[in-house]
Every structure is written in C-alpha cells, then in structure tokens.
C-alpha cells in the first residue's frame, strides 16, 4: 500500500525543481494554517497560489501518501510532513562569510530565524571588522577561526558573500571546516567537493536575464 522510497537517512533523489516547490508548498500551508484552514485539496492549493494540482500530487508522491481520497490533505499534518522531508526539524545553524553590507544584511535577515535558519557567526579577514558584531548581535570572527567555530557551534550551512576572486577559496575552507552545504552569492562559477551541496544566487545573472526582456530603444537600430 505504501511505497517506501526513503532509504532511512537521506530521502529520494528528487530534482531541485521538486525541492524548491516543496518549500513553496510549505509556505502556502503555513499561510492557510494561519487563516484557520484545516483541510485543503490539491485543487484548492493550486487555485489559491497559482500552482498546478497534478504537480503538487506528483511531488508529494515521491515521499508517501499524505492525502485522503475524496477529502484532500490535512493542512497541519502535511506541513509537518514537508518539514520533516526537508529536514527542518530543529533550527539549522549557519555561518556567513564576508562581513560587507551584503554579508551583514544576510546575518541579520529577520526571515531566517522565522524559518528555522539561525546565522550564528560572521567571518571576515578585515581586522577592523573582526571582534565586532552586527546590529542584530551576530559576532564577527576572523576567517582563520572558521573551522573551530563551525565544529564547536555545529554550523551546517555557510553563506558566501565575498568578492568573486575570494569565493572559491572560501568554499574550500568552508568544506574543509565541515560545512555540509553552501549558498554562494559571489558572481563566480565555483566547485564544491563531493558531499557538499552548493547553490548559487547570482544577482548579475538574474538582472541580465531581466535585461533581455526590456524593450529595446536604441538610437540606431541596424
């Protein structure tokens, strides 16, 4: 009756597109729960949040059977399942590397703690910054201390907000320090050692993608 695809520890090998949508579904469910909605069908979810009902069901099917036929899904229990699938049981501690404006903004971003991600340390190589802390109270350490603090504080994710030239070295250091995943904001094509998951948030690529869609009003069109 149940297709157990889970290999005990890590879940099935689903695509990044699917995990992204699971995260979206979770957010939608949280919204519904705040509104007091107790049950919702895939149709209802799709209509309310501009999603595709079949896709919701397919995405969930990778992990089990969470719905009740003829009824739909319990908002509360489906949200709990998604949190479990995504590994959001306990808060996840993070480090931010690079104490520039972006790094400090990330360290103090109010959305992260709300979603169970806690930036607990900021790293930089500038002596002027080391020893201080962000407005939100995140302490700034010298990058040299990365490994020790990652170990001691059980930091699992690093966010990289340093100039492109330094980014690869920071990824290497973070991986060596035992970080399991990295979110990179530097505009550079980086590689992470096997076992370390790397994702990029490339603002230049995003903006140039938008630029492609701007109306062209060049003076001299050939």
Partner DNA sequence: CTGTGTGAACCCCTTCACAGCG
Partner DNA sequence: CGCTGTGAAGGGGTTCACACAG
* Footprint of DNA on 125-144 (CB under 7 A): none
CA 66, CA 74: separation in Å to the nearest integer? 8
Count of beta carbons in the 10 Å neighbourhood of residue 180: 14
Structural contact between residues 73 and 40, judged by C-beta atoms closer than 8 angstroms: yes
Q: Is residue 178 involved in binding its own copies (CB under 8 A)? A: no
Structure tokens at 28: 């939608």
Which is nearest to 82 in space by CA: 164, 39, 18, 25?
Answer: 25
Q: Is residue 66 involved in binding its own copies (CB under 8 A)? A: no
Q: Is residue 201 involved in binding DNA (CB under 7 A)? A: no
Q: Which residues contact 6 (CB under 8 A, 6 or more apart)?
A: 12, 63
Among 6, 48, 65, 193, interactor with DNA by CB under 7 A:
65
Residue 88 near which of its own copies, DNA, none (CB within 5-8 Å, type-dependent): its own copies
Q: Which residues of this protein are in contact with its own copies, per CB under 8 A?
A: 8-11, 16, 19-20, 22-24, 26-28, 49-50, 85-89, 92, 94, 100-102, 104-106, 108-109, 111-112, 115, 117, 135, 156-157, 164, 180-183, 187, 189, 191, 197, 199, 201-216, 218, 221
């Amino acid at each position: 009756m149940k297709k157990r695809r889970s290999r005990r520890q890590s879940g099935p090998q689903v695509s990044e597109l699917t995990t992204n949508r699971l995260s979206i579904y979770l957010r939608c469910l949280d919204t519904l729960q705040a509104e007091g909605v107790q049950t919702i069908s895939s149709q209802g979810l799709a209509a309310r949040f501009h999603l595709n009902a079949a896709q919701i069901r397919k995405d969930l099917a990778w992990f089990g059977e969470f719905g009740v036929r003829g009824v739909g899904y319990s908002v509360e229990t489906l949200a709990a399942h998604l949190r479990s699938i995504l590994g959001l049981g306990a808060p996840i501690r993070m480090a931010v590397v690079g104490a520039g404006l972006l790094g400090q903004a990330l360290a103090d971003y109010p959305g992260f703690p709300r979603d169970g991600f806690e930036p607990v340390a900021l790293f930089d190589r500038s002596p002027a910054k080391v020893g201080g802390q962000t407005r939100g109270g995140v302490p700034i350490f010298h990058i040299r201390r990365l490994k020790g603090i990652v170990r001691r504080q059980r930091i699992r994710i690093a966010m990289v907000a340093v100039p492109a030239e330094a980014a690869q070295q920071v990824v290497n250091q973070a991986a060596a320090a035992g970080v399991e995943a990295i979110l990179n904001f530097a505009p550079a094509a980086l590689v992470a050692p096997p076992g370390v998951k790397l994702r990029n948030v490339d603002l230049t690529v995003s903006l140039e993608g938008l630029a492609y869609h701007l109306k062209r009003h060049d003076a001299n069109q050939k």
